[in-house]
Each structure stands twice: as structure tokens, then as C-alpha cells.
Structure 1
Amino acid sequence: MCGIAGAITTKPLDGARLLRVLDRMRSRGPDGCGHAVLPLGQRALSLMHTRLSIVDLDARSDQPFRKHGMTLIYNGEVYNYPELRDELKSLGAVFETTGDTEVILEAYRQWGTDAVKRFEGMWAFALHDPARDILLLSRDRFGEKPLYVWSRPDGFYFASEVKALAVMVGEKPGVNTGQIRRYLVNGYKSLYAAGETFYQGVVEFPAGSVAVIRDDGGVVPHSYWSVGYAPVEMTLEDAAAQTRDHVVNAIEYRLRADVPVAVRLSGGIDSNIIAGVAQNVLGRKVTAFSVLDDDPRYDETASIVRAVDYFGCDHHAIRIPKTGFLDRMERLIDYFDGPLMTISYYLHALVSEAIHEAGFKVSLGGTGADELFSGYYDHYLFWLASQKDRPDFENLVEEWRGTYGRFVRNPFLQNPRAFIERPAARDHIFLGAERFAGFLKEPFAEPHSEGHYSEDPLRGRMLNELFVETVPVMLHEDDLAAMAFSVENRAAFLDSRLAEFLSTVPTRHLVHGGLPKYLLRQAGQGIAAPDIMENPRKQGINAPVTNMIDVTDPTVRAAILDNSPFYDIVDRAKVETFLGQGTTLNSESKFLFSLISAKLFMDGAAAADL
């Protein structure tokens, strides 16, 4: 994990500015830094890199990495680098390092831009090839590693973080208030569908893409990977066995590091399977970190204690602090260059801080498992809709009532036939949007829309979430919550081979015996606590914001309601009334967090300091 930045300009960035960019990316790479200025056609290419040493800790793998006249800056991990290195050696390549950075460069030398199709991992890189007089940009399939681009009249800029773009350019990009409104009214699931960021003119380089850039700075990304639903007939037993093999391989790859790896452990099945595979299949010593809350709606203490007892692993428990919430939020938002999407990432940052303080540089988490294996409450109802013609359909409904259906709080999802009666209904996704729009000074209404990925109702939702609605947002937040404390976050299940296999599994196998994520639960049999594997309730890191902040405290209320550009778009009087009403619904608690997060972001964005 590292930080990268670059600029294609008429004149190279001066030395002082290069050093300032490196300083701004220090938390992404505290173990080393470097820069290079190279010709690209009639322009100058300035490249910057900060390093967090994970694989091949020697300075020989520092970046910018130069070989064969080419120069590479790279953020991420290519997990299958040992296999690729052996293949490249058989083709005549000679290696001077033992890490993955040199493998990327040699793979490009051998296979050109098609090299990225052979990589299994997470990355954002820029590779300068003087022989072709090009710069190659690429980003991993799921978008685990960030890459922002800003095309301006004076040049083309790219970086791991918006703050680095601002330093390179010498000014902050303007706040995109339309995206703020979208976030407040429709929530985080609406953000990537809009194709915008919280900054005017700044966009993300698309995941799963590569672009060849010449000195004119024109960028036309081309997709090199996609996955869709293409079922192949197989038995439930075959699906479960192959899933387990792929899950084990995916986790084994993501444990590759020359430094210790931590596991972010919740009471849910995803993180327990990660810990179970690591310890009980691969023989790796597990050190787990968990955040605990006293609220009975979210308290996972009993499940986490059960997991720790089962594994007998080292465990660090982090209690959610009851003070200092606004100060922590200000610091995190300053680093995130945007609002925190949900309170889960405030908690993720708490865990990352503890992981860093314990001396770890890498953590594993379960991001993407719900979208790959079908883990959300609405997924079960979409699955029921896909199975409506089965002769045992009424039995399936009763199974739902006795398991997942017992825990559903969203009123739109309490009818097991919801998507049979209204297949296109998506009321549950932007829950409360009309009410929340009433807080804005100007009208805002943007109905939910989704891409057409599959005729199968469940697979269509899962693929929308995987590529647009949830996973891109979670990966963005995962990266920042970890890198704020110089920790590399790895998503254990976002493996292309696993995703490709699951795309061939018939939908009917995704739920069984009243349990969603059935195939993943089966993968955990014998390696994680059985009662956790069989728990029908969805578990995850969460807590209400009112557990961390007392909005009746006059000092807190004054901080939330003080003068701000935020109140140019939001009605302050309505916020004040809202603070006095209390938040009894989960959607209200989430909206309160969004108000605070967006307000603090706009306060910080208005500051002059770069």
C-alpha cells in the first residue's frame, strides 16, 4: 500500500511542490518516498510515490522503480506475483528484487497492456514507457485502490487522494454541492451511479480499466474485465465444495506479506471465516481486532467472545469512546477529503488506529461478501421472487419467516412477496428520501436507477451493488479509514476467480434451509464456530451516532448549528428542530450522522489551507 501522484504539464512541477505532495501523502507511505521528472512527448511527466513496505522491505523495491528505461509508481498488491515471477523467469526475465513491483514492470514488458489481465490483486499504477512515449494508467478490477484524475487547461493530474491533486495544482477543487445534496437525501448508494465526486471536475479513474496516455493528456479508459451471471448446472454439493476451495485460495493469497497481518473480527460470518481459514486451514497465527458497543441493537460482544474462544487467538477489543466524537470526525474528514459515508467507517478508523498502535501494517476484512454471496435482507426477497414457480414456494416463505424475516425492520421488506408483486420496486433503498429532501433549501428529487446486469432479479441487484451502489463506496471508505493510520486494508473475498466462479452458480443455491449466504456458511463449516455460521441474523460493525454524541448538550448543538457554507444549501432551522426531536428510527440516526459529516466536510473545505 502506498500513495501515488503524477502530473503531465508543460513545465515540470518544481522541487518544492513535489516535496509538498509527498508530505501530504505521508500516512499512505511512511517508510519511504521518491519522485521523478521525465519527458512525455513535448511535455513533462512528474511522478511521486510514498511507500508503506509490505512485500520485499528492502530499499531496492523503493519507487519510482526504474528498469529497462521504464519507470513505475504503484499502490497496492499483486498477490500472485510469485507465480507470475516464475512464469516470467521461464521466458527470460531476470529479477533483482523479491517483491511484486518489479513483476508488474516485467509483466508489462512481456505482455503489454494485457498484463493487467494476469494480475490477481488490488492496484492503481502509472507506468512510463519511453520507447512508446506513453504513460499507462491502470486500476484493479473492483476498485480497491483509489485513483483520482483532474483534467485542467494547464495539465492532467492524477493521485491516490484529492489533497495531493490540490497541492499539485496549487488550488483546491470546488465542492460539488450537488453531490452533497445527493448524499443527504438518497444516501451513499446513490453516489457512484451519478459518476461524480464531492469535488467539481475531479473524477475517479474507473475500476477494471486501463488507459494509454500521450502528451496531449487525453484519457480514454478501456475496461479489461467484467463479470455477469452465466449459470452452469451443478449440484448444491458441488457448488459448496468449489466455493470452499476458491475462498481458501482467495484468503491464502491475501495473507501474503513480509509483515504480520491482522484480522478485523466482528460477530458475523465473513470475518469469522477469514480467521478460520487463516488459522485452521492455513496454519497462520491470528491476531484479531474488534470494536464493541453497549447498545443492545448492535452489541456483538457475545458473538465476538464466542469467536475468540473458538479460535483461541490473540484479541484486541476496542470500546467506542463516548467523548471526543466531533474532534475525531474533523480529523478523519480532513483526511478523507469528504464526508464519512456512514458511522461504520468512523468505527473502522478506530479499529485501524488500534491495529497501527499494535504494530501491524495489514488488516483483512470481509468487504464484498454480501454482494458476492447474497447477504442483505432484500436479497432474500429477490431470491424468493426468483423461486416463485417452485412447487415448494410456500415452504420457502415459511423458512424466511422463521429465520431472516424475524429481523427485518425496513417496512418495505417485511412482505416476503414484495418483489413478486412489484418487481421494479426499490422504495427500500432510498428510505426516507422525501422527508430528508425537506431539509434542503432547494428541491431535490432523484429516483433510484440501476443498470441492467441480469434478467435474474437477485443477480441484477447483487451486480449493481458490486459495481455501483455499495462495494465502490465501501472500498473507498475502507482504504481511507485504514490509510489514515498507515494500515493496508485487504478485502479477502474480492478475488476475481471467486467472483467468476460464483457467477456460474445457479441462483437457487445461494439460499438454503432459510439461510442466505449459504455457500459461504458451508465454506466455514468445521473451521469457525458453528453457532456463528448458523446465525440467521445479519451482523456487522455499526452503532447509533447518539451513543457517541449528546445532541442535547449546548456545546454540541452550537457546533452543529454554527455558521457554515453547509447552511447555504440546508435549512438550519429544520436541523435545529430535528436535533430537539431525538432519533428513534435507524434511518433517522443515519441521517443525523450524514448531517454532521457533511457539515464538518463543508466547514473544512472552506478553509484556505492546502
Structure 2
Amino acid sequence: MCRIVGILRRDDPVDQVVLTRMRDTMTHGGPDAAGLWIEGQIGLAQRRLSIIDLTERANQPFHWRQYALVYNGEIYNYQALRSELEALGYTFITQSDTEVLIVAFHEWGVDAPKRFHGMFAFAIWDKEQKQLWLCRDRVGVKPLYVYERGSLLLFASEMKALLAYPAFDRSINRAAVAEYMHYGYIPAPESIYRHVRKLLPGTIECIRDEGDSSRTTYWSARAAYEQTEERKPEELEGILQRSFQYRMIADVPVGVFLSGGIDSSLLCAVLAKHSPQPINTFTIGFHEKELDEAPYARAIADHLGTRHQELYCSATEFEAILPDYFQMYDEPFGDSSGIPTYLVSKLAQQHVKVALSADGADELFGGYTKYQYTARFIARYQKLPTWIRNSASRFLASSLPLIANDQVQRWLGVDNWRNKLLKGIQAFTARDILDFFQQASGYFSPDVAVSYQLPPLRNRDETITVKPDKQLAYLGLLDIQHYLEGDILCKVDRASMYTALESREPFLDQDLIEYALQLADSYKYQHGQGKVLLRSLLQKYMPAHLFQRPKHGFRVPIGQWLRELYAESLRALAEDKDFCQRFGLDPPFTHQRIRAFLRKNASVSEYEIWFLFALYQWDLTWNRA
């Protein structure tokens, strides 16, 4: 695992001082070694976190024949690929997956990534052809930002490295501001800056010395969803075991993030069964009882006999780490669960160098509540005349002070009730399943977006056919393309690498994704419960009472903490017209929303105000410092 950066100039030679400065903004993610190579107009650099083949021979930039490589990630099946390449006559001087990658690229070209099981973002410079190749893994576990302006191209694992370039253009991308304000993240290919894009997952791109480029898509989740092969439930356990075991390959200690939910419990159970030693598990807890899952995780850990560590997060920790939060998330990022993710990563890093996470299982196996509501209710909503749905939406919105309060939440026993209600009201007016899902995924209505003066959102892909028996797979596909890459994977990568911990995603092996996207809904949702197959499999490893309970989101009491700790900062934001002008937000409306939140107006989501606050603090950290 590493952090990588590069400069390609078509006019002047690369400046070593500048490239070194860019590289060393990411020392946190690669404290073990640093490398740099410049040849005329091309420069490559890397900070290394040593995981496989800890020797200096595996340091980067790695040179082989006419190629120079910098690479962030892991290829878990590198030993099998190495044997295949050795059979073709190649020899190797290291035990690293880095060398296997570069030889595989030489042998198979743009088809090489199709053979990789892993997470990766890499850049290869072909000295003979004068071509730069950039590639990103299938779902975007590893980040890769690309800046292009005139004859200059920069790339890096983190935005902060690009910002260290002296002539970096900080013009704001207003389309990205709209995405961020709706969702709390910015999905690929957009970024907060006009001239920066994220390389799309599943693509490999060639940039030629003369300036033209080409892009090849070597894998897509949509293609997996559109396959017609019928998959059987009995296949699942074998696929999971292979994927999980792949992610245990390392020359350093490995652990697991354990929340006590279905996904992480199954991951731990499978690994514990096949591990000769107790596995290391790590949990974050909260003092607010309704948010705290640490007791459940502890019970699972006791049952499996893991070496378990836990840490509790409070408003004190939140306040203490907030300056770090806006350093690690160097692009606006509004998922407040990034805070406990950072804390649990910091805890794990004291004991291991690699940690496995269960992200992706919700998307693949119908775990999110919004999937279940969308699949259950869209057909019913569409039968109602538009005027009835619009009237119901307005009525519920006007009733929010009465129904969106803590007393009603306790009476209903619904986790995160106010947020779910706000999203449900927005979704009432949806035209179809795609519109319904998009409304249910955002944090305020189209009317609020207009009042903020935000530009329209770019539409998601409307050409995908919704299969009647695979609506949950369809919704999971939409999130894999958008939410998973833009939010979940970004969150875990930045939080873990900021502590020099490698995070791995065993539910995101391509074999498992392709399997799950071909499963019928009946294997994912039955009798009011999601993740049917995962639950059934988990019962082979532990009693059901350890995990059968309503789903909990991994979240913090962000509204409470904002009001208690940052009311004055929010008032300053409300008066900052320069901030509003920079991001194209209407100043009076921004002022109105913040004041309403501080008065505990139920119609204003705490997440909306947190997104504003995080954008404001990010701007202070990276643009006004």
C-alpha cells in the first residue's frame, strides 16, 4: 500500500523540488520509504507503506525494461499470476506484487487488470512509446485524482498532493458543489475543483506525449448486473471464503473492524474458523445508548474468541480530532461516520498494519433500508395520482414539528427516524424507481436546492433496465456506481491511510460482486428482513440471538454535537457572504437554514447543516489558510 504522485509536462522538465513537496504531503500514508524518479518531462514519486515483501528491492518507483511504475494497493492473486508468468519464461527478483503487476502489464497490456483480484491505482510510464498509463480498480477502493491544464498533467492518490503544485488552479466546480450538498460526497469523475477529475473505477487510460488520450473500460458493475446466468445460494460460502482468505495475505499483522452487525460478524466468523491463531478485532462505541453497538461486537468477539479492542467516541474526541478530519479529507466530505472510522483505524494501527472492513455487503445483499422501502413501495406510489402524492408530501412536510421528534422516534423504535422521514417525504413525488431512489438518497428536496441556487444534479444512468425479480440488485448497482465509490470507500481509505493502516474490502472481490448482482430479490429480502443469504450462512457459525436485531447505521450524534460545540462557528458561517459567493450558495437562504437548525426546526436536517459546516471548514483549511 502506498501513496503515489506524478507530473507529466509537455513543455519544461519536471522540477524535483516541487515533486518532492507534492509526494511528502502524503507521508502519513507511506511512512516506511520514499522514492522519486525524473526523466525530462515525466516524474513519478511514491510514499510506501510496506505490506508485502518488506525489502528495499520492492520500493518504488519500480523499473523493469522500458517501464517505470508507481502503484498503490494490493494484488491478492499475485502468486498465481507470478507462476503463470514464470511458465511463460519470465523471471523475478523480488517477492512483491509490484513486480508481478509490471510484468503482467508487459505481457497482457490493457487486459492485465482483468486478471487482478485486488485494489489498486497505478501509473506506468513507457519510456520507449512515451506514454503514461493510469488505471484504477474495479469499484474504486483506491483513489486516483487527475489534474489537466494546458500542457500539464498531474496525478495523485490525494488532493493535497495536487494542491502543493505551485500553479494549481483552485477554480470551484459548481456541479460538484451541488452533488456534495445533496449527498455529502462527490462521486467520480467529478471533484470539487474544475480542472481535477477522478479516474473512473474499472478503467485504464493512456495519455500520449503529444497530448491525446484513450480510455478502456476493462470491467463494469453494470455488465455484471446485465449477465443472465442464474446463481445458486449454495455457491456463496465458497466465494466468500476465497475472497476473505485472499485479503489475509500479508507479511505484517492483519485485523478486522467488527461492528457486531451481520457483515463484519460473518467476516470474522469465517476467518476465525480457518485461522490457526485468534484474529484481532476492533470496535468503536458511543456513550449514546441508541447509537452504541460495541456491546454486540463484544459478544460476537467473545463467542469467536478474538483478541478484541474497543474505544468509545464522545463529543470530546469529536472536538479534538476535527482539525485532523479536514486534513485527511482534503476534498469536501460530509459523512460524519468518517470520525469514528478514523478513531477505530487509529486504534487498530496500534496492533496491526492491515485491517479488513465489511463495506460493500449492504450494496450487494440488499442491506440498506432505502432499498427495501424503494422495492416495496414504488409500485404502490405510482398507482396514486400525482396530485395526491404532492399533497401528501406537502402535508407531511408541514407536520414535521409534530412527527419528527425524539418522542415519536422512541415510540416507533425506528433508528434515525427524522432523517428517514425527510427522505421519505422527498421521495413521495418521484416519477419512477430511479427518481424515487435518487430522492431517497439525498438530504433535501429539489425546492431546497433551488433556494440554495444550486445547479441541477447530473442524472444517473437511465438506460439500465430494471429487472422485475432483481430490483434490489438494480438499486445496489446504482450505489456501487455512485455512493460506494464516492462515500464509503473514500471514507475508509482516507481515515485508515491517515493513520498508516491499510484497509481491505473482502466483500468487494469481483467474483462476489458478479455473483450478488445476479441473485434474485428473494435471496436478499424476505419477511421484512434484508441480507437473507448472509443471515442464513451466519447461523452456521453462531447462534441467531447474537446478530438478529434491527439494522443500525454507523453514525454519530452530529446534530447534538454541532449545537453544543459549534453554534458560534455556525453563526459565523451564516454571516460569511464570501463563502456563499465562492460556492454559489444564496446567502439569505443559507443564513435562514442555519438559524432554523440552531432553533431545532425539524424541517432542517442535521446532515444538511453538517455538510455546510464541513464545506466551510474545508474551505478555511485548504483555500483560505
Is the pair's TM-score, using the shorter chain for normalization, greater than 0.5? yes
After TM superposition, list the pairs within 5 Å mapping 1:86-235 onto structure 2: 86-171=83-168, 173-184=170-181, 186-188=182-184, 191-192=186-187, 195-226=189-220, 227-233=224-230
Are the equivalent residues in 2 in contact too, given 1:35–1:64 (CA < 8 A)? yes
Question: Could you tell me which residue of structure 1 aligns to residue 365 of structure 2?
Answer: 373
Question: Could you tell me which residue of structure 1 aligns to residue 403 of structure 2?
Answer: none
Compute the displacement of 1:533 (Å): 4.1
Question: Could you tell me which residue of structure 1 aligns to residue 4 of structure 2?
Answer: 4
Question: Could you tell me which residue of structure 2 aligns to residue 298 of structure 1?
Answer: 291
Amino acid at match of 1:7: I
Identity of aligned residues (%): 28
Compute the displacement of 1:22 (Å): 2.1
Distance 2:599 2:108 in 1: 62
Question: Could you tell me which residue of structure 1 aligns to residue 28 of structure 2?
Answer: 27
After TM superposition, list the pairs within 5 Å mapping 1:511-522 onto structure 2: 511-522=525-536
Deviation digits for residues 387-429 of structure 1, max 9, x if unmatched?
A: 99xxxxxxxxxxxxxxxx97474348989x9999964534423
* CA gap 1:432/1:581 in 2 versus in 1, 3 angstroms: same
2:535 counterpart of 1:543: no
| 273-282 or 343-352, which deviates more | 273-282
* CA gap 1:319/1:428 in 2 versus in 1, 3 angstroms: same
- Give the secondary-structure state (helix, strand or coil) at the position aligned to 2:529: coil
Distance 1:16 1:245 in 2: 50
Distance 2:238 2:538 in 1: 11
Amino acid at match of 2:2: C
After TM superposition, list the pairs within 5 Å mapping 1:119-518 onto structure 2: 119-171=116-168, 173-184=170-181, 186-188=182-184, 191-192=186-187, 195-226=189-220, 227-233=224-230, 239-323=232-316, 325-326=318-319, 328-356=321-349, 358-384=350-376, 407=414, 409=417, 410-411=420-421, 423=433, 425-426=436-437, 427-434=439-446, 436-437=448-449, 440=452, 442=453, 444=455, 446=457, 449-456=460-467, 457-518=471-532
| 450-459 or 431-440, which deviates more | 431-440
* CA gap 1:183/1:583 in 2 versus in 1, 3 angstroms: farther
Distance 2:458 2:6 in 1: 37
* CA gap 1:438/1:107 in 2 versus in 1, 3 angstroms: closer
Question: Could you tell me which residue of structure 2 aligns to residue 573 of structure 1?
Answer: 591
Deviation digits for residues 142-167 of structure 1, max 9, x if unmatched?
A: 11111111111131111111121222
2:39 counterpart of 1:38: yes
- Give the secondary-structure state (helix, strand or coil) at the position aligned to 1:338: coil
* CA gap 1:246/1:564 in 2 versus in 1, 3 angstroms: farther
Deviation digits for residues 508-546 of structure 1, max 9, x if unmatched?
A: 3222354211122233233245224433x1134212214
- Give the secondary-structure state (helix, strand or coil) at the position aligned to 1:297: helix
Are the equivalent residues in 1 in contact too, given 2:173–2:193 (CA < 8 A)? yes
Question: Could you tell me which residue of structure 2 aligns to residue 396 of structure 1?
Answer: none
Distance 1:413 1:600 in 2: 26
Q: Which runs of 5+ in 2 are unaligned?
A: 381-411
- Give the secondary-structure state (helix, strand or coil) at the position aligned to 1:493: helix
Distance 2:593 2:608 in 1: 11
Deviation digits for residues 292-344 of structure 1, max 9, x if unmatched?
A: 11223312133122112212222221111322635522322123212232111
- Give the secondary-structure state (helix, strand or coil) at the position aligned to 1:428: helix
Amino acid at match of 1:543: V
Compute the displacement of 1:126 (Å): 0.9
Distance 1:595 1:153 in 2: 33
Distance 1:69 1:150 in 2: 25
Aligned pair count reads 576
Q: CA RMSD in A?
A: 3.0
* CA gap 1:183/1:70 in 2 versus in 1, 3 angstroms: closer
- Give the secondary-structure state (helix, strand or coil) at the position aligned to 2:551: coil
2:76 counterpart of 1:79: yes
Question: Could you tell me which residue of structure 2 aligns to residue 399 of structure 1?
Answer: none
Distance 1:12 1:262 in 2: 44
Compute the displacement of 1:62 (Å): 0.2
- Give the secondary-structure state (helix, strand or coil) at the position aligned to 1:332: helix
Amino acid at match of 2:187: Y
Deviation digits for residues 349-369 of structure 1, max 9, x if unmatched?
A: 11112222x142211111111
* CA gap 1:177/1:514 in 2 versus in 1, 3 angstroms: closer
Distance 1:552 1:18 in 2: 39
* CA gap 1:548/1:565 in 2 versus in 1, 3 angstroms: same
Distance 2:51 2:218 in 1: 27
Question: Could you tell me which residue of structure 1 aligns to residue 394 of structure 2?
Answer: none
- Give the secondary-structure state (helix, strand or coil) at the position aligned to 1:124: strand
Compute the displacement of 1:28 (Å): 1.6
Distance 2:566 2:480 in 1: 40
- Give the secondary-structure state (helix, strand or coil) at the position aligned to 1:175: coil
* CA gap 1:581/1:471 in 2 versus in 1, 3 angstroms: same
* CA gap 1:552/1:59 in 2 versus in 1, 3 angstroms: closer
Deviation digits for residues 465-505 of structure 1, max 9, x if unmatched?
A: 11123343211221111111111111110000111222332
Distance 1:420 1:159 in 2: 39
- Give the secondary-structure state (helix, strand or coil) at the position aligned to 1:228: helix
Compute the displacement of 1:574 (Å): 1.8
| 239-248 or 547-556, which deviates more | 547-556
Amino acid at match of 2:326: I
> Normalized against structure 1, the TM-score is what?
0.87
- Give the secondary-structure state (helix, strand or coil) at the position aligned to 1:343: coil
2:600 counterpart of 1:582: yes
| 479-488 or 50-59, which deviates more | 479-488
Deviation digits for residues 13-59 of structure 1, max 9, x if unmatched?
A: 222112212211211211001111135xxxx1111111000000111
Deviation digits for residues 211-258 of structure 1, max 9, x if unmatched?
A: 122102333321001222434345xxxx33211111111111111111
Distance 1:509 1:108 in 2: 38
| 252-261 or 422-431, which deviates more | 422-431
Are the equivalent residues in 1 in contact too, given 2:443–2:608 (CA < 8 A)? no
Distance 1:158 1:307 in 2: 42
Distance 2:255 2:441 in 1: 33
* CA gap 1:12/1:413 in 2 versus in 1, 3 angstroms: closer
- Give the secondary-structure state (helix, strand or coil) at the position aligned to 1:117: helix
Question: Could you tell me which residue of structure 1 aligns to residue 400 of structure 2?
Answer: none
Distance 1:22 1:421 in 2: 48
Compute the displacement of 1:269 (Å): 0.8
Q: Which runs of 5+ in 1 are unaligned?
A: 389-404
- Give the secondary-structure state (helix, strand or coil) at the position aligned to 1:355: helix
Question: Could you tell me which residue of structure 1 aligns to residue 619 of structure 2?
Answer: 602
Amino acid at match of 2:5: A
Distance 2:367 2:177 in 1: 28
